[in-house]
Amino acid sequence: MKLVNFTPVRKNGYFLLLLFLSFAFFSCKNEETSKNAEDIKVSREMKAELTSPPNVPKPTGKRKAKKLIVDMEILEEEGEMTDGVKYTYWTFGGSVPGSFIRTKIGDEVEFHLKNHPDNKLPHNIDLHAVNGPGGGAESSFVAPGHETVFSFKVLNPGLYVYHCATAPVGMHIANGMYGLILVEPEGGLPEVDKEFYIMQGDFYTKGEYGEPGLQAFDMKKAIEEDADYVVFNGKVGAMTGDNSLNAEVGETVRLYVGNGGPNLVSSFHVIGEIFDRVYVEGGSQVNENVQTTLIPSGGAAIIEFKIEAPGEYILVDHSIFRAFNKGALAQIKAEGEKNEKVFSGKIQEGIYLPEGGAIQEMPISEEEVARSRPSENPGLAEKMELGKNVYGRTCVACHQSAGQGIASVFPPLAESDYLNEDVDRAIDIVLHGKSGEITVNGEKYNSVMTAQNISDEEVANVLTYIYNNWGNNGTEVTKEMVKAQRR
């Protein structure tokens, strides 16, 4: 009878036992670290570095826990929601979102909250990183011209929202009073090449989207969750054009993304990228290879990805009308060498018209078409301002903020020979659309532009704005010129 050799079985058993004990040890260690964070001793005092979006303070690295002094001022001040539209923001630190706060687990935070004497209302702060009543709101209520000081110890690593919690809470948040506080784990987060701070918010104004002038907050729209603007970092175009985020091919980018709300959930997506890692809801769970991540109102996520190819990457709320019609759109401009193994670019072009050859028209309400202008016969400066507003809501997605267009897809309007040689043709294209091949500055474009169903005044203003920008010939287009091209 042959004896069975049990040695491999015993070895495998020892291995499994060791594996189990190791897992149990590290699990207990992590649980112990979390439970005993309140016992972490601080080494000395230091002042917190606070940054305005999209900037992020320096990583905490391997530094020990500190007594961290956070000095923040509340400011109520007028800013620009989009071209020609003003809004009175309530802010933490003078920006929307408020200043980014970066801490390390075990830090004892001494928070100095100041309400500027010129402000009209009392405020406070609720930090989701705080373990205590109201997240600090009960201890931080402060009237204009006063300062309050309170303290707390950060116990849980993660990315957390903070916001004003003074009644009516929704109104204070809707006016821009939110931001992010990061609690890094012991040893810090892994190093990356670039870090950016982005926060989505929804805004509710008495006027419709793009209506010029100083707009007041509309409580009825806010209660009905009927947002006029859904934006990143407090305004339309906060991170587009000259304000775009910048990175290099081969760099790893980390985004700290929050959603101040007050109402809408964000479906955050970067067009042309896949998220390598997403710290779900700003916590310890990590998902990999993610296309779009949900960020609840009052929540956050940490997102990491590597830039593989040069070009423009568009950041959007993929509830997509919010991006192209309400402002939830930003850009990362990536410089570097092409990588055709990853992305080759266009290799063939043609026209595809699934609904037939007729040019499709963009729907628009009669109210918007008939919207009155500030003056009956505006001068050049006023027409330029009005035209910039029209451009921002109808043209910028395709032709870009500086009229540069999108290579091989949408022709440039900047220094455009095609545009400058025939103003009547330009008016006709805006009114009636255009399909087929054209040559602009020596480059061929073969696509479709839809008819822009806007008023004669709006056509005149937007073309005047275009002709008087970006190296074009300075033509002033009039309502009469537009009427002559209508058929």
In the chain, the amino acid numbered 263 is N
Q: Domain for residue 287, yes or no?
A: yes
Q: Domain for residue 22, yes or no?
A: no
Q: What is the pLDDT, as a whole number, of residue 349?
A: 59
Q: What is the pLDDT, as a whole number, of residue 408?
A: 67
* Residue 303 shares a structural domain with residue 410: no
* Residue 434 shares a structural domain with residue 315: no
Q: Is residue 121 classed exposed, middle or buried when 0-12, 13-18 and 19+ CB atoms within 10 A define those classes? A: middle
Q: Rounded to an integer, what distance in angstroms lies between the CA atom of residue 240 and that of residue 238?
A: 6
* Residue 211 shares a structural domain with residue 179: no
* Residue 81 shares a structural domain with residue 164: yes
Q: What is the pLDDT, as a whole number, of residue 454?
A: 86
CATH number of the domain enclosing 454: 1.10.760.10
Token pair in block for residue 90: 């309530």
* Residue 202 shares a structural domain with residue 279: yes
Token pair 């078409």: residue: 369
Q: Domain for residue 204, yes or no?
A: yes
Q: Domain for residue 253, yes or no?
A: yes
Q: Domain for residue 395, yes or no?
A: yes
Q: What is the pLDDT, as a whole number, of residue 372?
A: 43
Q: Domain for residue 355, yes or no?
A: no
> Residue 152's domain spans which residues?
45-184
* Residue 257 shares a structural domain with residue 179: no
Q: What is the pLDDT, as a whole number, of residue 346?
A: 66
* Residue 94 shares a structural domain with residue 219: no
Token pair in block for residue 209: 């989207």
Q: What is the pLDDT, as a whole number, of residue 486?
A: 84
Q: Find the distance separating the first CA and the last CA of the chain, reported in whole Å.
A: 103
Report pTM. Answer: 0.71
Q: Domain for residue 344, yes or no?
A: no
Looking at 335, 353, 388, the residue that finishes a domain is 335
Looking at 335, 354, 389, the residue that finishes a domain is 335
Looking at 306, 335, 364, the residue that finishes a domain is 335
Q: What is the pLDDT, as a whole number, of residue 374?
A: 53
* Residues making up the binding site: 123, 128, 163-164, 172, 177, 318
* Residue 172 shares a structural domain with residue 246: no
CATH number of the domain enclosing 250: 2.60.40.420
* Residue 263 shares a structural domain with residue 149: no
Q: What is the pLDDT, as a whole number, of residue 35?
A: 53
Assign 41 to helix, strand or coil: coil
In the chain, the number of structural domains is 3
* Residue 254 shares a structural domain with residue 289: yes
* Residues making up the binding site for Cu cation: 123, 128, 163-164, 172, 177, 318
Q: How would DSSP label each residue in 83-110? A: TTEEEEEEEESSSSS--EEEEETT-EEE
Crossing angle for the helix pair 456-467 and 380-394, nearest 10 degrees? 100
Q: Domain for residue 172, yes or no?
A: yes
Residues of the chain with pLDDT under 70: 1-35, 345-375, 408, 487
* Residue 180 shares a structural domain with residue 199: no
Q: What is the pLDDT, as a whole number, of residue 52?
A: 98
* Residue 279 shares a structural domain with residue 397: no
